[in-house]
Amino acid sequence: MSFVFAALTPHNPVLVPALAAVDEAVLPKTRSALSLVANHIAAHELDTLFVITPHAEQLPAAFGLNLCPQYSGNFVQFGDLATSLSVPGDMHLAYKTREYIETKKPFSVFSQELLDYGTAVVVVTLLGTSSACAVIPISISGASIQEHYEFGMLLRKQADMTSRKVGVVATTHLSHRLDASSPSGAHAAGSEFDSRVQQHLVQKTGAKKLLDLDERLVANAQPCGFPALFVLLGMISQINHKPSIIDYEVAFGIGHITALFDW
């Protein structure tokens, strides 16, 4: 079956159901969009989901893979004392991924049972607190976005070698400088950056345009985990896919985007 699914989602902890219940007025459209993505995952009956996260262990130049037979997760640091996650890892595919990529790109493997919060938000919003679908968390690095794109191409080749149904979710936030409530304050680059990302994502030549974005624009916009998007784009680069932005929503001065890539 190989590689069958790709999506881009945010990882704001307020999307965790227990935390969302505190203020249902925050990111309502994003929560609906994530429900749609979750339905697509269920329809594909995925065996394994790669999660490209900006919040796991990172190295300056090497990509990372969190290798563990079983993962757990919680949101205690955000005030949610009730929610706990349990999700299996895919040891076979993780080992095969390591063998295939480590001779081609700088690559590091670590083992941490407790999921980083970025991956944990993806799991709880798309798979639930207990899932039969295995997860393989992949860390971005300090390498260039071109390197992330090429890494994604390698990851897709490995995914295509398995008989399992494999998907990928890249989790990222767009600009953190959209208005006065932003963590770093407002900047004109924020809205321009978010507009360009949305415009380019749905274009056939969008990946190249995103790769060519002005570095100063990106730096001033201060997105979170932007390289994760390029791992996803690398994975789907040789696939005749149809991208669709399900939702874009601003909260706390941060751009939250949810997108599907169908084929």
pLDDT tens digits, one per residue of 165-177:
999 999 999 999 9
Is the per-residue pLDDT at 199 higher than 80?
yes
Q: Any idea how long the chain is?
A: 263
Q: Three-state SS for 122?
A: helix
Q: What is the mean pLDDT of residues 167-195?
A: 96
Structure confidence at residue 190 (pLDDT): 98
- pTM here? 0.96
Q: Three-state SS for 118?
A: helix
The better pLDDT of the pair 142, 183 is held by 142
**Residue with token string 């056939």:** 204
d(CA 143, CA 137): 18
- Please name the fold of domain 2-262: Protocatechuate 4,5-dioxygenase; Chain B (3.40.830)
| Contact by Cβ (8 Å): 155, 102 | no
Task: Round the average pLDDT of the chain to a whole number and report it.
Answer: 96
Structure confidence at residue 1 (pLDDT): 57
Is the per-residue pLDDT at 24 higher than 80?
no
Tens digit of each residue's pLDDT (9 = 90 or more) over 205-257 = 899 999 999 999 999 999 999 999 999 999 999 999 999 999 999 999 999 99
Q: Residue 117: which of 147, 83, 92 has the closest Cα?
A: 83
| Contact by Cβ (8 Å): 47, 165 | yes
Is the per-residue pLDDT at 85 higher than 90?
yes
d(CA 202, CA 260): 10
Question: What's the one-letter identity of residue 162?
Answer: T
Q: What is the mean pLDDT of residues 57-67?
A: 94
Tens digit of each residue's pLDDT (9 = 90 or more) over 96-152 = 999 999 999 999 999 999 999 999 999 999 999 989 999 999 999 999 999 999 999
Structure confidence at residue 31 (pLDDT): 96
Q: How many CB atoms lie within 10 A of CB 68?
A: 21
Strands 254-262 and 242-251, by their bridges, are: antiparallel
